[in-house]
Structure 1
């Protein structure tokens, strides 16, 4: 019997703190194998992603489409599924909702990075971009770090106001801000999750800031101004999620930063003390099928 989980069932199987723990456990597991993902360009300007991963017990393939202008059609930007198999027998064991896993595992990766690297975690939290990732990061930082105050900046006033209302429904203090650059001075926690079609942030974060930059996941996408990225690399710590970022981290690549020289989240997990230093922390997340494998492992346990 294959368990086909709905979006709500998928979300219930992946609570953010437990998912962050599962991701950390996966980074310590030497049996995990994640080949390069395949990205097929689509006629309308979108992309089809094929992302396999496996360990000794579980194998997955993530099949999703990313259509950046789908909001104008009233459709989600990400659609698809994650197929889960028994790695020994080859039997299909589960089908998880792809957009739900993508939203939650991405936020849980940021949560894990913040746990390990953030100079302070009390907030306020600034979220730049009020879409699906804005919502999932708000929930993850609230549940996993205990953040009680959030500021939301978005090109869409309606989206920002909706996220503010959601935050208040969780018992948080929340407000919409019109200028993300100005808000950086007051927020030690920052998540940028825009559509990354153009630079959205040109000011420097605080000296005690932790930034999770998740919007840009191709060399052509960008959220942070190149001069800010270079300043962060000089004055603070820049960490990428995996070595795949060497070819995908648009913010850093466009700033001329040597991404292959940067530490990965796995490096930090293995030796947190070696990667702590004074100054701001910039965590660049591009995505990896290993995060989906961690989510599948957790869902099967639960």
Structure 2
């Protein structure tokens, strides 16, 4: 089975490599990987060429423009990477009969409801990043929805031991400052990239075994949290496992006291129950997954 992973150096790409199964449904996995330097998603010809050359059975697109605030001033590039490139992938894969696993975000929703979002709920993004991801979803589904060739996985608040994410930023800030003010009125589910990677491989296995499922899927770890809860948990668990010994004070603030270029939804937790029950996967609480990631940071001496 030929699998092409786009975005090998991102946090999800690294987690997909770390959790790579030897075989899927009895087929040996032949993994080809590309980085940003090897494949520029803003150049359509490159996106088409790599698929026609490699002829993958599966393309896992783990690359995206994810700088939410920067996207407001880099609209053109954001849409090229998050909407146009996935459409080129979809068209090329349709030609060769390959399947696309694409990742999207909880930021496709406006956050005006208080129950976790289902895949059937209407999208209404508040920022350029969310709009670009919606457009990417729509373009992909326009091309591949009549086939069995696509799965779009929306996830939320992704983090890992590596890279530029909330957990690593908070650890660095806690080491520099005695007091941190963290937003407490934005709520979703922190999701470990290892959890998402394992889910992705399970999903591909189910596809190989002929399980029919929706083209659009939600996946996150279990439970909900605010950014304040998330930051406090990093401090609490980090101290508990001996990653650091800090007594940083973490104070909750409202969103309007912390101005950002892009608006964020107040509540964007995702309802993952349908797909998890279909695949017989029991989700882990986000705090358990966070503890595993913080242990990985400790054991790797990353921070």
- How high is the TM-score relative to the length of structure 1? 0.33
- How high is the TM-score relative to the length of structure 2? 0.33
Structure with bigger gyration radius: 2
Higher strand proportion, which one?
1
